Amino acid sequence: MFFVVKRHTLIIFSLALAVSLGTAAYFSGTAARPAFSASEQGRTVYVLDAGHGGEDGGAVSASGDKESDVNLAVTRRLDALLRFLGQDTVLTRDDDTSIHSRSAETLRQKKRSDLQNRVALVNAVPGAVLVSIHQNSLPTVPSVHGAQVFHGTVEPGGEVALSVQAALNQSVNIGNEKHEKKIDPSIYLMKNVTCPAILVECGFLSNASEAAKLQTPEHQKLLSVAIAAGLLNTGEVP
């Protein structure tokens, strides 16, 4: 474990240094995306999934901040950073929309259709590793905070989750370290994708202090650097 910790520390430091030396796309999180065909690559493709979107805002903080907005902000920064570092990425959404089919009418139908379309998108990408970005909430215990990683059943999803969790523990969870866990089998997206998959709960919107931090570009950058460090520490995953 000593070697892993040291290696994570080096990767996080290197990524932070690269960012500080100047990546305008990373700082804005809104860089133009070049055309990309996953089938032409033959290596790991990170499918970055900003959870929720559109009418489905997900969890909401006491001050009215929507989970879907934070998810998208972190995902955009992670996408820009990974691409800057030469990695291949695909986004399930890049704006505040749901990707449901037109035939869906009610909110319940739209949510289900949205998830089905995300699964189809992920499963159509050769060499995919799913990284789904979310925010947690536990209003009954508002003191709970910190980032935690969950993984699906397809290996080496557990290894990826372990690596990303270690990087988060060294950056945003200092003194509040958490352990990666296998996700509840009822989570539709994670149980239906056929590739290694992790879901990152970046923090708790039910914790006022953390909810405020999650709105800031600085904390969003820190999260994206840590997640990228964890992903790159596992190398070419499949």
pLDDT in tens, 117-151: 999 999 999 999 999 999 999 999 999 999 999 99
Helix, coil or strand: residue 114: helix
pLDDT in tens, 5-23: 445 554 555 555 455 444 4
Share of the chain above pLDDT 90, in %: 77
CA distances from 58 to 17, 20, 178, 226 (A): 33, 32, 23, 23
pLDDT category of residue 190 using cuts at 50, 70 and 90: very high
Classify burial at 235, counting beta carbons within 10 Å of its beta carbon; exposed 0-12, middle 13-18, buried 19 or more. Answer: exposed
As a whole number of angstroms, the distance between CA 81 and CA 27 comes to 9
Half-sphere exposure of 27 (CA within 13 A, CB side): 7
Residue 145 lies in a domain: yes
Distance of alpha carbon 179 from alpha carbon 168, whole angstroms: 10
In which domain, by residue range, is 131 found?
A: 2-11+42-233
33 assigned to some structural domain: no
Per-residue confidence band for 33, with pLDDT thresholds at 50, 70 and 90: very low
Average pLDDT over every residue of 226-234? 94
Extract the tokens encoding 135.
């925010």
pTM of the entire structure?
0.85
51 lies in a domain?
yes
- Residue 222 zone, left/alpha/beta (φ > 0; ψ -120 to 50; rest): alpha
Q: Is residue 32 part of a domain?
A: no
Quote the CA–CA distance of 207 and 194 in Å, as a whole number. Answer: 34
Number of domains making up the chain: 1
**Residue 23 resides in a domain:** no
Residue 38 has pLDDT above 60, yes or no: no
> Does the residue 46 lie in any domain?
yes
22 within a domain of the structure (yes/no): no
Residue 187's CATH number? 3.40.630.40
Mean pLDDT of 222-232: 98
Sheet of 197-204, strands arranged across? 88-91, 45-50, 128-136, 197-204, 148-151, 181-182
Average pLDDT over residues 39-46: 73
pLDDT at 42: 67
Whether 87 is covered by a domain: the verdict is yes
202 phi, psi to nearest 5 deg: -70, -20
